[in-house]
Amino acid sequence: MAVLLLGFAFLYAPIGLLVLYSFNASRLVTVWAGFSTRWYGELARNEGFRAAALTSFEVATFAATIALVLGTLAGFSMSRFSRFRGRTIFGFALLAPLVVPEVILGLSLLLLFVSCENWIGWPSRGIPTITVAHAMFGACFVSVLVRAQLAGFDRALEEAALDLGARPSTVLVRITLPGISPALISGWLLAFTLSLDDLVVASFVTGPSATTLPMAVFSSVRLGVSPEVNALATLFLGLVFVLVALAFWLTAREERRRHTA
């Protein structure tokens, strides 16, 4: 349908152009000077971007893992217990970070860290504070996914296992968790991607020594179009494409396995 073609053209045109021009031998976007991978070479030699990329990956890995654990706990809490004290506030605290503007999250967290530092002399801002911040809103995203998955989960499987003599812990590990594994996998990947991509919150809560990749890109981009950033963007797109395709493949495989078992 024409609508779909136009819609997807709109969504993908800027990305496609970025990829195209990352291979442009000329620095200017408007002059095509032939195919070249020189910007990838320049990018690889750029110490600033390399260090920032390492920092970002480190933060994202830790943050996504913490977010997965916390988000799964939260998802189970909201899904399995329909009434408990503080459920309304808990629900609000789980959903609000998803929609609240990032400047608010960033500013409030920074003020917390500064107050804490004044009070007990810790933490010094940097990688740990960025990780904590990312894990906070990552957990909220994971909880949404886990809740949705649990809603569609057939509890009769758990009950059958219990009837057959399994201990509750066994039921959890061998029935429930594998059953919601699509949410767990996509949850981790989502938290990972969001952490990698975050600019605003990281800028607020970071310290003098920690620069994340988005921060490095942002300062570079404020000065204008930069071909190294095009190359970086293309690499990043490739990475995300691989990760998301992997997530889809793993999820589809789990679904198939569940239906045939």
Partner 1 sequence: MIGIGRFGRMLLIGVPFFWLALFFLLPLWIVVKISLAESVIGIPPYTPLVTHGVSGLKFHATLANFALLVHDQLYLRAYFGSLGNAAVATVLCLLLGYPIAYAIARTRGRRRQVLLFLVMLPFWTSFLIRVYAWIAILAPNGILNELLTGLGLISEPLPLLNNQFSVELGLVYSYLPFMILPVYGSLSALDESLLEAAADLGARPVPVFFEVILPLTVPGIAAGSLLVLIPAIGEFVIPDLLGGPDTLMIGKVLWDEFFNNRDWPVASAVTVVLVAVLAIPILFAQRFLERGRIA
Figure out which of the listed residues 34, 47, 83, 99 binds partner 1, where binding follows CB under 8 A.
99
Figure out which of the listed residues 38, 50, 51, 107 binds partner 1, where binding follows CB under 8 A.
107
Interhelix angle 181-197/213-221, nearest 10 degrees = 40
* Tokens found for residue 170: 């066994």
Figure out which of the listed residues 9, 26, 27, 28 binds partner 1, where binding follows CB under 8 A.
28
| Min separation Cβ 243 and partner 1, Å | 8
Nearer to partner 1, 87 or 257 (CB): 87
In 3D space, the residue among 144, 172, 147 whose CA is nearest the CA of residue 158 turns out to be 172
Nearer to partner 1, 64 or 229 (CB): 229
> Which range touches partner 1 (CB under 8 A), out of 35-43, 47-55, 106-114, 120-128?
106-114
Count interface residues toward partner 1 (CB under 8 A).
92
| Min separation Cβ 25 and partner 1, Å | 16
Nearer to partner 1, 37 or 115 (CB): 115
95 binds partner 1 (CB under 8 A): yes
Q: Are 205 and 148 contacting, i.e. CB atoms less than 8 angstroms apart?
A: no
Figure out which of the listed residues 35, 47, 82, 151 binds partner 1, where binding follows CB under 8 A.
151
Nearer to partner 1, 51 or 233 (CB): 233
Figure out which of the listed residues 9, 33, 44, 103 binds partner 1, where binding follows CB under 8 A.
103
- Binding to partner 1 (CB under 8 A) within 35-54 occurs at none
Figure out which of the listed residues 54, 221, 242, 246 binds partner 1, where binding follows CB under 8 A.
221
Per the DSSP assignment, residues forming a β-bridge with 24 are 35
Query: Burial, 227: exposed, middle or buried (Cβ in 10 Å; 0-12, 13-18, 19+)?
Result: buried
- Binding to partner 1 (CB under 8 A) within 166-195 occurs at 167-169, 171, 190, 193
Rounded alpha-carbon distances, angstroms, from residue 237 to 20, 93, 229, 243: 12, 32, 12, 10
Rounded alpha-carbon distances, angstroms, from residue 145 to 93, 150, 160, 246: 16, 9, 25, 17
Q: How far apart are CA 137 and CA 221, in angstroms?
A: 26
Q: How far apart are CA 78 and CA 205, in angstroms?
A: 29
Figure out which of the listed residues 59, 63, 64, 70 binds partner 1, where binding follows CB under 8 A.
70
Which residue is associated with the tokens 């509890």? 155
Is the link from the previous residue into 123 a cis peptide, with omega within 30 of 0? yes
Q: How far apart are CA 38 and CA 135, in angstroms?
A: 37
26 binds partner 1 (CB under 8 A): no
Nearer to partner 1, 143 or 181 (CB): 143
Nearer to partner 1, 81 or 122 (CB): 81
